[in-house]
Chain A
Amino acid sequence: MSASASLASSVASPSGTPATPPQRPTARRARRARSSARRVLPGFGLTLGYTVFYLSLIVLIPLSALLFKTFTLTWPEFWEAVTAPRVMASYRLTFGASFLAALTNVVFGLLVAWVLVRYQFPGKKVVDALVDLPFALPTAVAGIALTAVLAGNGWIGQYLEPLGIQIAFTPAGVVVALIFIGLPFVVRTVQPVLEDAEKELEEAAMCLGATRWQTFTRVIFPTIAPALLTGFAMAFARGMGEYGSVIFIAGNMPMISEITPLIIIGKLEQYDYAGATAVATVMLGISFLLLLVINGLQTWQRKRSGALS
Chain B
Amino acid sequence: MNARIRLPQRTESPWVRRALIGAALAFMLLFLVLPLAAVFTEALRKGWAAYWEALKEPDAWSAIRLTLITAAIAVPLNLVFGIAAAWAVAKYEFRGKSFLTTLIDLPFSVSPVVAGLVYVLVFGAQGWLGPWLAEHDIKIVFAVPGIILATLFVTFPFIARELIPLMQAQGNEEEQAAQVLGASGWQTFWYVTLPNIKWGLIYGVILCNARAMGEFGAVSVVSGHIRGQTNTMPLHVEILYNEYQSVAAFAVASLLALLAIVTLVVKSAVEWRHEREMKALAELPPEPTHAAGAPGGLSASALASATTWPSSPRPPQMSPTPHGALS
Contact = CB atoms under 8 A, between A and B. Distances in A.
Interface of B: 8-12, 17, 20-21, 23-25, 27-28, 30-36, 38-39, 42, 80-81, 84-85, 87-89, 91-95, 100, 102-107, 109-114, 117-122, 124, 126-128, 149, 152-153, 156, 171-173, 175-176, 179-180, 185, 188-189, 207, 210-211, 213-217, 220-221, 233-235, 237-238, 241, 249-250, 253, 256-257, 259-261, 263-265, 267-268, 308-309, 311-314, 318, 320, 323-324, 327
A44 interface: yes
Nearest to B175: A41
A210 to B, nearest CB: 8
26 contacts: A3-B94, A7-B92, A11-B309, A42-B188, A50-B84, A55-B81, A58-B152, A59-B103, A59-B153, A65-B127, A65-B128, A137-B36, A137-B214, A137-B256, A138-B213, A138-B216, A138-B259, A139-B214, A140-B256, A145-B36, A145-B38, A145-B253, A156-B34, A206-B8, A212-B12, A261-B112
A263 B301 CA distance: 57
Contact of A206 (B9, B175, B268): B9
Interface string A268-298: 1000010011001001100110110011001
A291 B118 contact: no
Residue from the set A40, A43, A295 with the largest chain B CB neighbour count within 10 Å: A43
A46 B189 CA distance: 14
Interface in A154-179: 154-156, 176, 179
Q: Is the interface of A mostly helix, strand, loop or mixed?
A: helix
A199 to B, nearest CB: 9
B88 A51 contact: yes
Contacts of B21: 115, 119, 121
Contacts of A125: 268
Nearest to A246: B217
A179 B30 CA distance: 11
Contact of A7 (B8, B102, B172): B172
B31 A111 contact: no
B327 A302 contact: yes
A59 B214 contact: no
A225 interface: no
Cβ-closest 8 pairs across A and B: A138-B214, A6-B93, A241-B111, A244-B216, A243-B217, A145-B35, A261-B113, A136-B260
Given A62-B153, A144-B253, A154-B38, A111 B121 contact: no
B104 A55 contact: yes
A230 to B, nearest CB: 10
Contacts of B39: 141, 144-145, 148
B257 A137 contact: yes
A54 interface: yes
Interface stretch (A19-27, A74-82, A83-91, A127-135): A127-135
Contact of B120 (A134, A149, A179, A268): A268
A108 B24 contact: yes
Nearest to B213: A138
A176 B34 CA distance: 13
Contact of A44 (B24, B88, B188, B327): B88
A291 B102 CA distance: 8
B35 A237 contact: no
Interface centre among B185, B220, B264 (most CB of A within 10 A): B264
With most chain A CB atoms within 10 A of its CB, the pick from B102, B237, B327 is B327
A7 B314 contact: no
Contacts of B268: 125, 128-129
Nearest to B20: A115
A95 interface: no
A141 B39 CA distance: 8
Nearest to B265: A129
Given A11-B320, A136-B260, A62 B9 contact: no
B173 A11 contact: yes
Given A15-B309, A114-B20, A132 B10 contact: no
Given A5-B93, A44-B94, 16 more contacts: A41-B92, A59-B106, A66-B118, A66-B121, A128-B268, A129-B268, A135-B207, A138-B214, A140-B216, A140-B235, A141-B237, A141-B253, A144-B237, A144-B241, A154-B38, A241-B112
Contacts of A156: 30, 34
A146 interface: yes
A134 B210 CA distance: 11
A129 B264 contact: yes
B264 A132 contact: yes
A264 interface: yes
A161 to B, nearest CB: 16
Contacts of B126: 273
